[in-house]
Amino acid sequence: MNWDQVKGKWKEYSGKIQSEWGDLTDDEVAEVNGDRRALEGKIQSKYGKSKEEAEREVDDFLSRH
């Protein structure tokens, strides 16, 4: 799967994203609105991860869904 597929079905994937990163609020997930970089930024700030760690986590999420 690629990010364009996630972005195109954002409402469907937003629940999966919130399950993956449970500290993200509904509002934060809605604010991302399919923007991968915005999601990575939220993961960085919420979990104290580096940019590279957040990118790896999103890549891992994509490979599993």
What sign for the dihedral angle of Cα 55, 9, 2, 17? Answer: positive
Angle among Cα 18, 19, 24 to the nearest 5 degrees reads: 35
CATH value at residue 42: 1.10.1470.10
What local confidence, expressed as pLDDT, does residue 54 receive?
A: 98
Express each pLDDT in 4-63 by its tens digit. 888 889 989 999 999 999 999 999 999 999 999 999 999 999 999 999 999 999 999 999
| pTM for this entry | 0.90
User: Are 22 and 47 in contact, with CB atoms under 8 Å apart?
Assistant: no
The confidence score (pLDDT) of residue 49 equals: 97
Per the structure, the count of domains in the chain is: 1
Q: Is the pLDDT of residue 1 over 80?
A: no
Q: What is the pLDDT, as a whole number, of residue 2? A: 83
Instruction: Determine if residue 34 is left, alpha or beta; phi over 0 gives left, psi from -120 to 50 gives alpha, anything else beta.
Output: left
Q: Which domain holds residue 39?
A: 3-64
- Single out the residue of 27, 48, 42 nearest to residue 58, CA to CA: 42
